[in-house]
Structure 1
């Protein structure tokens, strides 16, 4: 059995506005059934990226709190329901199932911070976004890796 096709690009983000712009561009490519895995150290910008992405799919004035304590927040958007998971405090995949994972995957868009907690539930068809700190205080770097069908969708996200 061969591994799913994958493609990676790196985008330099000079500030939070550039991060929000990338999130909007990713949001324009999302459809029901997609999964976006957000990786990065604490403070690298995962929640800021998620907030901008969710607002781009729905109402830009919607409050989008971090699901750090609630573990999951859902948003009805024209594209599909968005399930924003923060799995930082979870011990393993069994706990994710209790949060509605199967429902999120059956027709929603799953946006997951700390996807390593998914274990074997991590789907092979997904977009991984790894955020890291850049050379300046407000700068970040995003490495996007498309797995499966996402490999073909990444081209439109490359910097001009």
Structure 2
């Protein structure tokens, strides 16, 4: 195993987000993960427990945005009022200049779980958490 070089640790400060090809510079965080769906498999004989069989997966995540405009709200409301779901592609990019390259991942068929119409407090920068699900993804670039 190679020796860990501290300066190669990737900082989220260099993360970027695109939604349907449009850069969202107001994004301050993104998490996307896959939950493995498993089913119990009874095992008879010497083993007195249950095994697990992978039966699929579910993609979910959230994006954190500093409120600077209403562009995502507008897209969500327009889709809702027309009786459709807003379905987008989100591309996450991590490109710390000290790292060994960049990582880009496309999340496909993303649908947001809610629409936040208003959420604010005095003396506080407004941020929004936008939970979502997705059903496909592509690893575009990986860090070596």
TM range (shorter): under 0.3
Structure with higher Rg: it is 2
Structure 2 length-normalised TM? 0.24
Q: Which has the higher contact order (CA 8 A, sep 6+)?
A: 1
Query: Which structure's residues are more often helix, by fraction?
Result: 1
Query: Which structure's residues are more often strand, by fraction?
Result: 2
